[in-house]
Amino acid sequence: MQDTANIYSGRQDEDTMGGRLQRARDAAGLSVSQVAARLGVRSATVQAWESDRSQPRANKLQMVAGLLNVGLAWLMDGLGRGPAESGEELIESISTRLSRLRQLQGEFHAIAQGLEKDFVRLAAEARG
């Protein structure tokens, strides 16, 4: 692997390590259970890595980078060689993230409305 050739060129991937790991796994066409089996860990361990609840040890991180054909620096810090994504895969990824963002926006809006109603009710009770 030649991470150092382009480690400081291009833009940094701002995703979390878990997000980068999941994207690289998807790009490699592997399931969580397939990655877990090849690394000798449980599926729950890989899921914890992908959801940023824990991080792999250095030796496993090196194995993950090799298995998924991405640079170690990219996996750790978003610098260097990431997975090769076709235009179609990238469009699908962006579409999925936009849908999730819209869903979260709706949830936040509903929460804000609920808080506003509670605030108005509490203020009215306090006044009289």
* Helix, coil or strand: residue 111: helix
- 39 in the same domain as 79: yes
Range of the domain at 60: 1-84
How far is 55 from 32, CA to CA, in rounded Å? Answer: 15
Helix 17-28 to helix 43-50 angle, to the nearest 10 degrees? Answer: 120
- Stretch 87-114: mean pLDDT, rounded? 84
Nearest 10 degrees: Cα torsion 7, 10, 11, 17: -30
- 74 in the same domain as 11: yes
Nearest alpha-carbon partner for 35 in 45, 101, 95: 45
- 67 in the same domain as 104: no
pLDDT digits (tens, 9 = 90+) for 55-89: 999 999 999 999 998 988 888 888 777 777 666 76
Q: How many domains does the chain have?
A: 2
pLDDT digits (tens, 9 = 90+) for 26-55: 888 899 999 999 999 999 999 999 999 999
